[in-house]
Amino acid sequence: EEKPTLEWRVKPFTIQDSGIISDNDIKVGYLNFAHSDSLGKHLDYSSSRLQTQNFLYRPTKYKQAVFTPEVGFIGTHYDKTNSGGSSTALFGVLGGEASMNMYKIYGNSRHVIKPYARYDYYHKFEDSPDNHYIFDIDDSWSKLNMLRVGVHNMLLKKDERGVYPSITGDLYTNAFFSTSSIPKNIPKIYGDISYGEF
């Protein structure tokens, strides 16, 4: 149970004239982990959780290509853990994305093709998810070294209502490096497609 969780997200802003965008998010919550009576009340656990996510990135355009390097920090503090005491998990984030937009017009429709590559590296400074309970995805940050490569497709239609997507598709794969829990560097290729007049 979360009773309650409050979130304050600062609208991303540009730092003076540098072109660097700052994106910040803070969450404060009280978490309660209750077991059934048959398992025993002595296993019940509760903790307050304070989390901050802070990122800096700077998009740079070159012709049809966009390059966006990114650096960030994720910190989560728990005042109580399942083993007693408090716990703090700290991660440094380094990565970025490169993409290119290409399109062709057919009558009142436009086909947009966007090849892209995104790299994410999460470095764990302290603690481990094993030192606290996992209530939700915000508690499960772990070391990550991943490259995603894909091609995003979108068919846009234009009529009296304006321009809207009718078909979108994404074909991509994730490559993992130095990840012992995933034996293959490229385990699978994925495809997403959606259709509809939005």
| pLDDT for 12 beyond 90 | yes
Q: How many CB atoms lie within 10 A of CB 191?
A: 10
Q: How many CB atoms lie within 10 A of CB 152?
A: 17
Which residue type, as a one-letter code, is found at position 152? H
| pLDDT for 74 beyond 70 | yes
Cβ contact 51:6 at 8 Å: no
Q: How far apart are CA 114 and CA 102, in angstroms?
A: 6
pLDDT at residue 88, rounded to an integer: 84
Model confidence at 65, pLDDT cuts 50, 70, 90, reads very high
Q: How many CB atoms lie within 10 A of CB 65?
A: 12
Q: How far apart are CA 17 and CA 90, in angstroms?
A: 30
pLDDT at residue 178, rounded to an integer: 82
| pLDDT for 104 beyond 70 | yes
Give the CA angle between residues 171, 67, 16 to the nearest 5°. 135
Model confidence at 167, pLDDT cuts 50, 70, 90, reads confident
User: 107 — alpha (psi -120 to 50), left (phi > 0) or beta?
Assistant: left
**What is the helix (H) or strand (E) element at residue 99, kind and residue range?**
strand 87-100
- Calculate mean pLDDT across residues 56-73: 94
What SS3 class is residue 42?
helix
Beta strands 87-100 and 65-78: pairing type? antiparallel
| pLDDT for 69 beyond 70 | yes
C-alpha dist (Å) from residue 189 to 145, 147, 153, 179, 184: 18, 13, 16, 18, 12
pLDDT at residue 96, rounded to an integer: 96
Cβ contact 140:134 at 8 Å: yes
Per cent of the chain over pLDDT 90 is: 44
Q: In this predicted structure, which of 24-28, 47-51, 59-63 has the lowest mean pLDDT?
A: 47-51
Give pLDDT tens digits for 105-141: 888 888 999 999 999 999 887 655 556 666 666 676 7
